Amino acid sequence: MAGPIDDRQARQGQRIFQGVQSGQLTYGETAQLLQKQQQIQAMKMQARSDGFVDPWERARINAAQNWQSLNIWVKKHN
């Protein structure tokens, strides 16, 4: 079962893909955004390594996803 973290990662990945398709994102911008997506994914996997994502870990991942969302918007609209 995919949780809210996975769902949000998927939506942000779709936003990046749409930016590539529409030409709003350059190769360099896309590479930066995808690298950050991978870092957030690694944070998620580390948090889940003990079988439980505690509230502090969830807040940290959510904050990283918030920054990523802002970065996607800025790079698509510059």
Q: pTM for this structure?
A: 0.90
Say how far apart CA 16 and CA 11 lie, in whole Å. 9
- Give the 3-state secondary structure of the chain: CCCHHHHHHHHHHHHHHHHHHHCCCCHHHHHHHHHHHHHHHHHHHHHHCCCCCCHHHHHHHHHHHHHHHHHHHHHHCC
Residue 38 is which amino acid? Q
pLDDT of residue 2: 60
| Average pLDDT across the chain, whole number | 94
Report residue 26 CA to chain centroid gap.
18
- Chain segment 2-21, per-residue pLDDT in tens: 688 899 999 999 999 999 99
